Amino acid sequence: MKRILITGLHSYTGSTAAEYLSSWPEKYRTERISLRGDSWRSESFRGFDTVLHTAGLAHDNTKSCGRDLYYRVNSELAFETARKALNDGVRQFIFMSSSIIYGKSAPIGKTKIITRETPVNPESVYGDSKFKAEEMLRTLEADGLKVCILRCPMIYGKGCRGNYPVLSKIARRLPVFPKIHNTRSMLYAENFAEFVRLMIENEEKGIFWPQNAEYSDTSEIVRMIAEAHGRKVLMIPFLEFPLKNASKFSGMFNKAFGSLAYDMALSEYKEPYRLKDLRGSIEETERG
């Protein structure tokens, strides 16, 4: 039996992984720990095979949190947790990184496909703090810790936060939506959880780029969500030019309709982990 310690009591990805792994009680035993305050430092990690580190600050909210807090939590705390894991005899440390370390989405009408050769280019405090954590964590590999870095795209599923619930609300309420083609990588929660299980089972180390087997298109996602609720949304073409102009004044338009995707070859793994396709995952999420 493998014992997994998951950091972050309120993390969506941590909760997703814990619930998924509970389907194999004879193979995996998970425990959760909060890294708030100092009490965790006196806890022992001894006896755990893997630490899955999902604690951290997500997205950019520097106005209320401040820049320094991002580096203290996302970079320094991650490194301190991994160093404690190493000192307590844990063999593997899985770190939740993000595709945001490659920068923002391409502008509307442009394509941004990330390959193994694409340089890291964080354009936000959140992205930079995640990449700084990666660099710090990899220094522990020389001491024998298996550092497994997951550069995940947007993860969605039942109970998720972030951009997906916004699209779901739009699809369930609005009668029309812009028809604009874009290309985005996304990762369904169950596909993510199976990938994590394989990382644990195979005791992997290195950098990984998991994603769904299909690219996502914002307009198509809205249409699929609406159909899952028995609705139809009229897709309005010829709005690319006005939205391009609008994106000069607000980054929200490029965030919604721009492209940011991994090359599919980057996300292949020796064992299958995509348990649900895009349509099936959306239908399952909306039923939830």
Strands 234-236 and 176-178: parallel
Say what the pLDDT of residue 238 is: 81
Domains defined for the chain, CATH in brackets? 2-161+185-214+262-275 (3.40.50.720)
pLDDT value, residue 288:
72
Using an 8 Å Cβ cutoff, are 13 and 96 in contact? yes
Residue from 225, 259, 219 nearest 111 by CA: 259
Sequential pLDDT tens for the chain (288 residues): 999 999 999 999 999 999 999 999 999 999 999 999 999 999 999 999 999 999 998 865 655 677 899 999 999 999 999 999 999 999 999 999 999 999 999 888 889 999 999 999 999 999 999 999 999 999 999 999 999 999 999 999 999 988 899 999 999 999 999 999 999 999 999 999 999 999 999 999 999 999 999 999 999 999 999 999 999 999 999 877 677 766 666 667 677 788 999 999 999 999 999 999 999 999 999 987
> Could you tell me the pTM of the whole model?
0.94
- Residue 242: CB atoms within 10 A of its CB come to 11
Record the tokens describing residue 239, joined without a space. 């709005």
What the block records as the tokens of 67 is: 């820049």
Beta strands in the chain (DSSP E): 2-7, 28-33, 50-53, 92-96, 113-114, 146-150, 154-156, 176-178, 186-188, 206-208, 234-236, 261-262
Q: What is the DSSP string of 169-216?
A: HHHHH-SEEE-----B-EEEHHHHHHHHHHHHHTT--EEE----SS-B
